[in-house]
Chain A
Amino acid sequence: MMNTKQAEKTIDDSAIITIENMHKWYGDFHVLKDINLTVKKGERIVICGPSGSGKSTLIRCINRLEEHQRGKIVVDGIELTNDLKNIEKIRTEVGMVFQHFNLFPHLTIVENLTLGPIWVRKTPKKEAEEIAMYYLKKVRIAEQAHKFPGQLSGGQQQRVAIARSLCMKPNAMLFDEPTSALDPEMVKEVLDVMISLAQDGMTMIVVSHEMGFAKSVAHRVLFMDGGEVLEENNPEAFFNNPQHERTKLFLSQILD
């Protein structure tokens, strides 16, 4: 397991993602209550909490897979509103990795990776393929380049999904429970890739139950319950000295 010293890179003072007084409702259900969060360039945040706490909804608001009804979200200097152009711009700057991978089953691995660069960034095909092979090598799956997602294991698919987001050269990456759908043996290979991403200084917001990852790589750990951020601290303080009652309860259940 990596220790925080090795994974640490200097955090820029510029904020990449700012969320101010954000609220979200599903009909009458108040799913996110007064969220305030600032993420600086190079920072790594882990969000944890019981299911239904709104953690996935929170990060999905950042790239507009969900809409917020009140408050302000600014990503990379662009405010997130109903303006389609802004939304698409933000989505090219922020990558997302899903719990269920969501690779495109009708395309080969390489085609999965080159789709974004070719059609969104207008990169020529050859260059896009070189970028794809570079990132495939990085996540250590280059030999599967011409297979289809259906032929790969879960851990391999998730690594491809990470490489797919990286090909868009995002400024930040969102991870929505990236290892929750994987068999235990495959969790490590994906976490290793995420740790090496961290080493390269990528800004990451990770929703996860992998506390070992949080302890070794995160700058801050957030605890959410019932739509609110109840506790926010650096890993040492968070795990050794939780303040809120519900945080203590959650940690005792998870770390047992």
Chain B
Amino acid sequence: MKPPVTEVGMIGWMKANLFNGWFNSILTLVVLYLLWLSVPPLINWALIDSYWFSTSDQCKAGNGACWSVITANIRFILFGFYPHDLQWRPLLAIVILITLLIYSQNRNHWKKYLFYTWLIGLFSMGLLLKGGLFGLEEVESNKWGGLPLTLLLSVFGLTAAYPVGVMLALGRQSKMPVIKSFSVVYIELIRGVPLISLLFMSSVVFPLFLPEGVSINNILRAQVAIILFTAAYIAEVVRGGLQGVGRGQYEAADSLGLNYFQTMRLVILPQALKIVIPPSVSILISAFKDTSLVVIIALYDLLKTTQTTLSDPKWMGFSAEAYIFVALIYFVCCFFMSNYSRRLERELDTSL
């Protein structure tokens, strides 16, 4: 005997989730109506009536989405003021970064050579952007912009912030008063101010304290501010993880004769960091998006280059398309980060 057709499969699912009871059924109908009102016009605007490679005049004449604002200005949006014929260099740098990231996903690859590969990779990315060696023409850092700048600030920022954050968390747990006070003061100070003010301070205030003639690269100032900021938040999250590791683990490690650093590195931190993967990834995703704040110190990251494109009278008025494009890029990056973290959590779950 087969189960009744209204209880299983697609129809069964709809009945159980969309039409179970009067209120839900009416709600479903209302939502379907709203979707019918909004989705076809949206698809019409975005895909059917849209202009992908036309001029700005053709775009203004029509009423579909003008994706040409992206396609016509793609090189500026992605690379900022980087010299036109040298743009293969930042492009190559991005490709190297993405390849490294994809390769590092697999935990079986996490061996010593991967660490060195990353070092070489990061060095070559810096070399490609900066030039000056191996016959590559030098490009001043104030010309760097767009996607490579955003990725650079994020990757270096987050990679450096994590160990600093872990050390601050350990410092805050320490019994030594100097280390503990320093960690507490640092964390509370940094958490008390917005990132924008830190960027502003590092860019404007900090150079005032430097001796005559010494100047620090603008990008470096932004980088340091991002690292210091993110580290404070990671410290608190890791501290929560440290508290979540049972006391018995500390005692078992102690009773084997392990010293403080061995206990932390081999027993406690692996467990603590695993516990706090979800909040850590939240912080990293936030920090990635916060790199857009560097507009305040006149750095042309991805968002700023997009905005600049819109200030051209030719392309003014197509801000929806431009920002949708940028939002998509941010979304794709953040989605990969959170997807990866979920995979990592599953892989590390040894209790099954």
A binds B: yes
Give the interface of A toward B (CB within 8 A).
63-65, 84, 88-89, 91-92, 94-96, 98, 100, 102-106, 115-116, 119-120, 148, 150-151, 164-165, 168
Complex contact A116–B256 (CB within 8 A): yes
B255 touches A150 (CB 8 A): no
Contact status of A116 and B257, CB under 8 A, knowing A100-B248, A105-B271, A106-B274: yes
Q: How far is the CA of A82 from the CA of B343 in the complex (A)?
A: 45
Question: How far is it, in angstroms, between the C-alpha of A27 and the C-alpha of B226 when the chains are bound?
Answer: 45
Q: A106-B274, A119-B262, A148-B351 are in contact. Are A168 and B251 (CB under 8 A)?
A: no
- B residues in contact with A94, CB < 8 Å: 255
Q: For this complex, into which size category does the number of interface residues on chain B fall? A: 20 to 34
Question: B254 at interface (Cβ–Cβ under 8 A)?
Answer: yes
Asked, given contacts A91-B255, A148-B350, whether A102 binds B271 with beta carbons under 8 Å apart, the answer is no
Cβ-defined contact, A120 with B249, below 8 A = no
Within the assembled complex, what's the spacing in Å between the Cα atoms of A106 and B350?
A: 6
Q: Are A115 and B256 in contact (CB-based, < 8 A)?
A: yes
A120 adjacent to B257 (CB under 8 Å): yes
Told that A92-B257, A102-B249, A105-B351 touch, could you supply 19 new A-B pairs with CB distance under 8 A? A65-B251, A65-B255, A88-B259, A91-B254, A91-B256, A91-B257, A92-B256, A96-B251, A98-B252, A104-B249, A105-B271, A106-B348, A119-B262, A119-B266, A120-B257, A150-B351, A150-B352, A151-B351, A168-B256
What are 20 A-to-B residue pairs whose CB atoms are below 8 Å?
Answer: A64-B254, A84-B259, A91-B256, A92-B256, A92-B257, A96-B251, A98-B251, A102-B249, A104-B267, A105-B271, A105-B350, A115-B258, A119-B262, A120-B257, A151-B351, A151-B352, A165-B255, A165-B256, A168-B256, A168-B257
Contact B270 A106 (CB under 8 A): yes
Contacts of B251 in A (CB 8 A): 65, 96, 98, 102
Max chain A Cβ within 10 angstroms of own Cβ: one of B249, B270, B350: B350
Complex contact B255–A96 (CB within 8 A): yes
Q: Which residues of B contact A102 (CB under 8 A)?
A: 246, 248-249, 251-252
Given that A98-B252, A104-B252, A105-B350 are known contacts, is A116 also in contact with B271, CB under 8 Å in the complex?
no
Chain B residues with Cβ below 8 Å from A63 are 254-255
Distance between B297 CB and nearest chain A CB, rounded to angstroms = 42
**Residue in chain B with minimal CB distance to A108:** B350
Nearest 3 A-B pairs (CB), nearest first? A150-B351, A102-B252, A92-B257
Report Cα–Cα, A80/B266, bound state, in Å: 26
Q: A98 to B258, alpha carbons, bound, how many Å? A: 17
CA separation between A151 and B271, bound complex, in Å? Answer: 17
A115 to B265, CA, bound (A): 12
| Cα(A149)–Cα(B257), bound, Å | 21
CA–CA, A64 and B250, complex, Å: 13
